[in-house]
Structure formats: C-alpha cells, structure tokens
Structure 1
C-alpha cells in the first residue's frame, strides 16, 4: 500500500520512539503516511528506527501487502523538533510525567504550522490541563493508542474542553483510516479505558496480596469467565508495572482512595520488577 488512506493526514509526526511511539508510527506508516519520529538523542533515535522497521517487517510476514523497503522509505527518524514544521499532525508519545508532557508538547507546538493538529497519547492525564499550557489549545486532542498498537483495534479519542468540535470528527476519520475503532470520551481522570482497566487490575493485585488466589488463577477467572483476552495481572505486566503505578497514583489523587496503589505494586516497582520489559512482574517473562 503506497497511497495514503484519504481520511488520514499525509505527513505525520511522532514524538517519542519507545514501544508506544514506534507502534503509532507503524500504524500511520503502513497506511500510506509519511512519518517522522523524533527522539531525544542519536542512540534513542537508532532504537526507534529499529523498533518501527521490525514492526513493519512482522506485518509484512503476516500478509501485509507491500515490501518492507517501500514502507520504511517513508520513515524519517531525527532528534530535531524543527522537522515537525511540515507535519499535518503530530502525536506525542513520551512517558506519563506531567512536566515532561507539557514541555514536550510546547516544544512541538512552536514548530507546527498554525493549521496543524497536535495530539497526546496520554492514558490518564488531564487533556484540558495540557491544552491550557498550549498556544493553540483548540487544535489539541487525545489519541490514546493501546499496546501493542499493531494488534489493538481500539483508539480512545479524548476531547479537551478547548478542542474544536470539527477536530473530533477529523479524529474519528483518522482512527477509521488506521483500520481501528474510535471510542470518544470527554476529559476526565483516567478517561474510560484506563479508569476501568486500572480499577480491575488494582483489585486483582489486592487479591494476590491477601492470598485469595495466584496471579495465574485470577487471570484465568477473567479470561474464561468474562472473556478477557488476557487477565488483569498479565495485562499489567505487558503495560508495565511502573506505568500502572503512575496512573494509579494520579487517579488516587483525583478520584480518591479506591484507586490507592496496593503495597505489592509499590514494592515490585521499587525492586525493578516492571513486567515483561524487565523480565519479571506478576509473571516470570525470562
């Protein structure tokens, strides 16, 4: 596929080339967009390129029409924000740290054309709060992709109070153009997906902590009884225990005690047991 899907922007930028950023870049790339990924330094940029190219190669192996070389010919990886100047849309995908999100979004916005749109992949932070830090908040929207992006069929479109209504319609079109389904939510702590997902995961952690059942049996109960594709604890390992802890801490501060992070989660993160990416979490991934 060399032609961009009509509903998609032709030139897309992604800030951050980690697991999520690389997945977002892959999604736009395989649907015909010209994609620029910007990372913090040369080593991170090299890692981002490797992740995106590997994801494209796997998609081609699984039957995606087109050659790897044809797709990656439209990929640029850089360390220079100035490259965003010709982008129609830029998606920010940096870690869930408020100050980092704000400085990153501001750094991107100052290079964008006035007509360009800016999106955040945040999974829990206030979109209206982030928008308030920008010069053109009306051009800002949430596009919450799910991990792993190539396999996920969901994107949560989050509307800040300042977001132009027409931008919401455009975002729905982008999601459809990526072959995924949009769930549109108003700005609220944790939106819909993170709030519900974290609530289930935290209760599952408390059950392990209290000796109610093993992680495996708790997950199997949700997979077999409620048709979840993976259980809440294995999902936590895939997402990252540090990521889940950050979201839980934010929801705790905004929504109250029901989102207080269990001690087992705090202890595992303190020991570096972050899930699949570290080799151990609630499961052994070695």
Structure 2
C-alpha cells in the first residue's frame, strides 16, 4: 500500500482563491480592506519567516497586514498593553500573536488580551470553549486546517478511532475536540503515555503534534490508517514518513501538508472576523462577536 498524499498546498490555494473573491466583494460592499495585525516579540528567525509568510498571503488575497514588532526583553505587561490597543483599534479585524514568545512572557496572559472577536488564530479560552461546545467562534488555526484538509479528501470520521499525540492548548487539545465533534472516538497521548506504540497501532486516524522528529515510527501505523503530521518542517515532522506512507491510506507530507492549511485558515478567519464586525454594525451579532458556522 502506498498512501495518498493529503496535499495542503493545493487545498490551501483553493481556500485562498475563495477568500480573495470574498475580500473583493467585501471591499466593494463596505469600502474598506480587512486588516490582520501580527505581533512579533523578538527576532527569532523562524518566527520572523512565519510572520512574513502570513503577510504575503494577506497581500495575495487583497487584505492588509499590519506588523507590530517588539523587543525580546519586554515584559508581559507591555505586551498585553500593546495587544489591548490592537483589540480596541476599530481598523483591525484580526490579531495574531506569533508564538512562542520569550521565556519571561506569560504567553497565556498575552493570548487572553486578544479580544475574542479578533482572535482569528483561535488561541483564547473563549475561542476554545465556543469551539468545544460547537457554538461558532474561531478554531485554533492548525486544528482548523487539519479538519479542512481531512474534509477536502472526504475522509469519514464518524465511528473512527483517532489518536492525538500531543496535548498543547492550541493544537493537541483542540484538534481532539474537533474530531470528537465529528463523532470520532478520541484518545489523547502525551509524554507520560504508557505504550504509545500500542495506542498508535490501534488508531484509524493518527494526528502527531509533539514537535519531536520521527517520534511516530512507520511500523506503528495500522494498515489503512490516516496519518496527519503536524510537526515542524524544520525537523521533517513527527512521523517517520517513508515507512508510514507504505502502511497508511492517506498521509500529510512535511512540509506541504498541515503548514499551508494553518495559514489559509488564519486568513479565512480574518475574513470572517471582518464580516462579523459589519454584521455587528447592522445589529446581527452572535454571542462573542463571531459568525456561526
């Protein structure tokens, strides 16, 4: 068996093409361009690259990207103040705090300074709760991208056993909740899980999200399973790709799988946020100021 590639580049391009049309319609209807504000703390080369990529995608669809760069030595209080100013800025539709942030920063406190109606990266507690209860709101961008990629290939999830390896609040935990909402049976695994190989071997769907190169071995994969590798491109992913691809039915490459989908969802949700602001002006507002799906 040779797995079919889950092509994140092709599917993200389709999303961005749609958003480009929606932006043009929005500008014609409302006389303004949607704005995504990105906040970068410090000069980490990888983070700077990611922010630049997001700005480029904004430009491609006709959105405006506003970049705020802050010194690596700033305090949590200074960062929170800057984010609150963006939250209150009537010209800003979405806010992205590029993570990780320097060690002295309380990242969770900084995330919570983002107004839920502008949390297009889906990192606040409000966004997580609304997603978990299926009450609209914004999905965490990478989990949202994973679900969009699975849906693009019409992969059924109901009744399937999904194993999520990783439990971060912006990737592992939310993707498990999204899979659960689609009637999959979800098992979370992590650094203290006993017999990780055994859990993975029983999975119909494996989502690897730990940032450890080749942690998931190819011979762990159940024949015919769907393998989604959300690991970093810099370390070539969390899954030992070649042997896993020989056993899986579908698999994401790294790079070119989940990464492009993350950015596409971020841009798409910025468009949703802009529309929600205009709906608010017309008095048609959902509980957290975000559109129902």
TM-score, normalisation: structure 2:
0.35
The one of the two structures with greater contact order (alpha-carbon pairs below 8 A, sep at least 6) is 2
